[in-house]
A and B are shown apart, each in its own frame.
Chain A
């Protein structure tokens, strides 16, 4: 086994923009054996994507591998190939799957044509042969009615299906190496597992080596036998995943693993009953159908009759796949969507009745959105962002407001020096802190946190989760934590409600749901969640 030369051998890879600027990848070396999967792990900006792109020689303009770097595919050097020769390697010998299945397929091209495109480029095959091979591959990835699929357009498929089709069209060329750049980040937990299982299946069958790029340690633990941990362009630690992830030697790896949400972090939970703050009863929510010529499509039902109660000071987590209606419920409670039936009450007051009392209570309920990039007005300086809710309190003077904003900045851990920055001048984590500050500035009694950490890096996720917890302990507001990330939920929730297709299928305390799930769907979600301690169960405990 050891005598066999590695499939891909990267030596001393250093990538830098120009001569003077610091490298984005420094002295990176690793090997991938045929059929093996190696993961490059790191946070955004760690250089993992640039390292992978160097293998394909698809680096953005000023970036260049410096002299002394070497990338060999089956012993032949790739960095010295001419552009023309490199074109023959791309696709045919090295395939790539991108992160966004929504944009990596051409929306104006039928699936069959896209699959045929690369085959035609690299192999001399007749149309009939191309069709046969495509059909066989679609059948292989268990697509119903492959012939129909060839004539279909990308928008007819869900994200997960598109990613499978993408994978199929790449694997159709039988590449020796597959580069998968965050291939499932945009997908739901259950779909994520399907796609990865399929990828492993196909690559093992064909003996393809895989270079997986990911920020998800849980995924790496489950799928990749070896791992390279990168920080600011440097491989700080590499080796077998089981060893690196269970007994990390480098402090950075340790901090990444510490950042994984875990139950112990949340502490034990007080499960005594609390007075109900928010009551949701039999809520049905429809989205109006698309407007057609002279008529409307029938409305689409997103939530089919949901009951839940959130006690004061309690965190209820709402989990489920995208499209399950979990976000819609959160939005309905704060008044962004109007239910078509049912009742939403705040301490017994019906929030669906308009009136001054409802308006007053609405101010006690706030929301933190998922995407800190779009939830802040790009033209508002962040001091203004946080102060804005206070403008509604006519009793406050400008000086009062400034004092309050300063205090909240401190509470959420934002340096006051950032006060006159614009949102785009902040990092994702800082932006989310601003959004949280805006939500709590008027001391709400209830906050909806709609996937508040899923757009953030791992270590930042941990900080934000901790911050939410700390603020909750201090101010005692109740929280509806909407998330698809079971890891985060396990850490923050008191109680968990699981949603599927607009219905709550199971609800219970955190420990009940995670330890003794009753409903089949809950079990499947838990199985698919790549929680690292489940992959290496015994070792981590």
Chain B
């Protein structure tokens, strides 16, 4: 069975399209800077706030830096951050959520108390607080956003675990003589993956946007290094003179999100055993 061996042709098409979009964005992020030579920081005042022109196919920004080069290099930053943040939040959330849901009792209570306290803050505000601790760097952003989004994953995972625990196949595993740990890894964890995947793909999108919001506040990827987010935010004062400076990074973010969501839906269906004929 192929990876995208889904039952309904409409879904398969969506999944393929999503994979195609996401794949090309990732490829550009990895290999783009190697294939297209040029320095994204190089200034060319002749191209300042200009639209497409010879030498600068997508025009220049407020300092006359090449927009295409900056988008390609920015893809690397944005995808990198989104990917690792999501992985971090999902891994942490899975561990805490399963622990809390499966062990119940005081472990659950203490973990959930912290978790609910974190959930009470808006994600971005929380990230700002963490940024103050970890500093404005890629790693800092990843940790801060990861911690900020983790409580949502914890909630989803714990809820799923709580409902799974009551299912008879989990009880059957206990009667069989499996230890709690075996039951957890063999029967509970795999059944949590479907809802978490959906959440992860949505989160991928949130993170790209959150990173741009942080950049807007001056806490994101420090300039002059480009990311889609900080390109979008620094372009704001020039929206009237050079709309392409807002439009192009915005388009990149939207198209990537579209791809991520389509791909996520397909992965969800693929992970659902009921969809396999």
Residues of B with C-beta under 8 A to A377: 169, 173, 186-187, 191
B277 interface contact, C-beta 8 A: yes
**What are 30 A-B contacts with C-beta separation under 8 Å?**
A335-B175, A336-B175, A359-B177, A362-B177, A365-B175, A366-B175, A366-B176, A367-B172, A369-B171, A369-B172, A371-B168, A374-B168, A375-B168, A376-B169, A377-B169, A377-B186, A378-B169, A378-B191, A379-B190, A379-B273, A380-B187, A388-B186, A389-B177, A392-B177, A392-B178, A422-B273, A422-B276, A423-B273, A424-B274, A435-B172
Q: How far is the CB of B191 from chain A (nearest CB, A)?
A: 6
Q: How far is the CB of B194 from chain A (nearest CB, A)?
A: 9
The 7 closest A-B pairs by CB, nearest first: A375-B168, A369-B168, A377-B169, A389-B176, A363-B177, A422-B273, A374-B168
A334 interface contact, C-beta 8 A: yes
B174 interface contact, C-beta 8 A: yes
Residues of B with C-beta under 8 A to A378: 169, 191, 273-274
Within 8 A of A (CB), among B169-199: 169, 171-178, 186-187, 190-191
Given A363-B177, A375-B167, 9 extra CB contacts under 8 A: A369-B171, A374-B168, A374-B169, A377-B191, A379-B191, A388-B178, A389-B176, A392-B176, A422-B276
A255 interface contact, C-beta 8 A: no
A438 interface contact, C-beta 8 A: yes
Pairwise interchain contact A388-B171, C-beta atoms closer than 8 A: no
Pairwise interchain contact B177-A336, C-beta atoms closer than 8 A: no
Interface string of A353-364 (1 = CB under 8 A from B): 000000100110
A365's nearest neighbour on chain B, judged by CB, is B175
Pairwise interchain contact A425-B277, C-beta atoms closer than 8 A: yes
Within 8 A of B (CB), among A422-436: 422-425, 435
Within 8 A of A (CB), among B253-276: 273-274, 276
A384's nearest neighbour on chain B, judged by CB, is B186
Query: In the complex the two chains form, what is the Cα distance from A371 to B177 in whole Å?
Result: 21
Query: In the complex the two chains form, what is the Cα distance from A362 to B175 in whole Å?
Result: 7
Q: How far is the CB of B15 from chain A (nearest CB, A)?
A: 20
Residues of B with C-beta under 8 A to A371: 168
Residues of B with C-beta under 8 A to A392: 176-178
Residues of A within 8 A of B (CB): 334-336, 359, 362-363, 365-367, 369, 371, 374-380, 388-389, 392, 422-425, 435, 438
B177's nearest neighbour on chain A, judged by CB, is A363
Residues of B with C-beta under 8 A to A423: 273
Q: How far is the CB of A174 from chain B (nearest CB, A)?
A: 43
Q: How far is the CB of A296 from chain B (nearest CB, A)?
A: 13
Q: How far is the CB of B2 from chain A (nearest CB, A)?
A: 17
Residue among B172, B173, B177, B187 with the most chain A CB within 10 A?
B172
Pairwise interchain contact B273-A336, C-beta atoms closer than 8 A: no
Within 8 A of A (CB), among B222-260: none
Interface string of B142-180 (1 = CB under 8 A from A): 000000000000000000000000011101111111100
Pairwise interchain contact B273-A424, C-beta atoms closer than 8 A: yes
Within 8 A of A (CB), among B188-212: 190-191
B272's nearest neighbour on chain A, judged by CB, is A378
Query: In the complex the two chains form, what is the Cα distance from A166 to B187 in whole Å?
Result: 40
Query: In the complex the two chains form, what is the Cα distance from A380 to B190 in whole Å?
Result: 10
Residues of A with C-beta under 8 A to B178: 388, 392
